[in-house]
Amino acid sequence: MVHSDEYADSDHYVRVDTNDYSVHPAAIGRTVTVLTDNDEVIALAPGGEIVARHPRCWARHQTITDPDHADAGKTMRGHLHHQQAVQSKATRQATTQDASGPLVEVEQRELSSYDRLFTVIDGGGEREAG
């Protein structure tokens, strides 16, 4: 399975021997089959889709990254960060509304009814206009 740590540079890699080979980030969270021979490392997603193809590296402790995988990872992280920012803003707005209490509908009156109530105009002061 290709594992993901959103903020790590190596979030879409498979290890063969001591080397890490990039896999297209669309495969994160999916089980992949890794095929190797003396010349090549191939990762297949379920259904046989090739999600990585690299020349085999015989040096030790190397990280081999396909530039297309790196670009796709940056794009996906950008979308993820944007989505998280939008969700965070929506959460803050909902929290702000909740903190002030539920919205309550109140009765609305004509301003003249208050004038009459407070005897600003003739005929007021005895009862509320209705």
Q: What percent of the chain has pLDDT over 90?
A: 39
Residue 3 lies in a domain: no
Residue 22 lies in a domain: yes
Residue 122 lies in a domain: no
User: Tens digits of per-residue pLDDT, 40-79?
Assistant: 999 999 999 999 999 999 999 999 999 999 898 888 877 7
Rounded to two decimals, the pTM is 0.56
pLDDT of residue 122: 60
Domain hosting residue 61, numbered range: 13-97
Residue 31 lies in a domain: yes
Structural domains counted in the chain = 1
**What's 120's DSSP letter?**
S
The first and second tokens of residue 65, run together, are 């990254």
Residue 25 lies in a domain: yes
Residue 63 lies in a domain: yes
**What's 12's DSSP letter?**
S
Residue 50 lies in a domain: yes
- Report phi then psi at 99, rounded to 5: -65, -30
Average pLDDT over residues 87-113: 68
pLDDT of residue 74: 85
